[in-house]
Amino acid sequence: MRVLVITGAGVSAESGIPTFRGKEGYWRNLDPIKLATPEAFARDPKLVWQWYRERRQRIR
């Protein structure tokens, strides 16, 4: 049996994980162009890795 679940940002928000655009969302205080692009990684890989590490820790 295969199960496919398609959800939106509301599921993560209800779980306490910040959404991207909500009141306390990831992009509210951060510019996505500075973090979520190949150019951002080339410019400042340490900052990008730090941002992704923080995101992973929030969902654990």
Tens digits of residue pLDDT in 26-50:
667 778 788 889 999 999 999 999 9
Tens digits of residue pLDDT in 44-56:
999 999 988 987 8
Q: Is residue 42 part of a domain?
A: yes
Range 1-35 burial, b when 16+ CB lie within 10 A, else e: eeeeeeeeeeebeeeeebbeeeeeebeeeeeeeeb
In this predicted structure, what is the pLDDT of residue 17?
72
Global pTM? Answer: 0.56
Q: Is residue 2 part of a domain?
A: no
In this predicted structure, what is the pLDDT of residue 36?
85
In this predicted structure, what is the pLDDT of residue 1?
93
| Domain harbouring 44, CATH code | 3.30.1600.10
Q: Is residue 1 part of a domain?
A: no
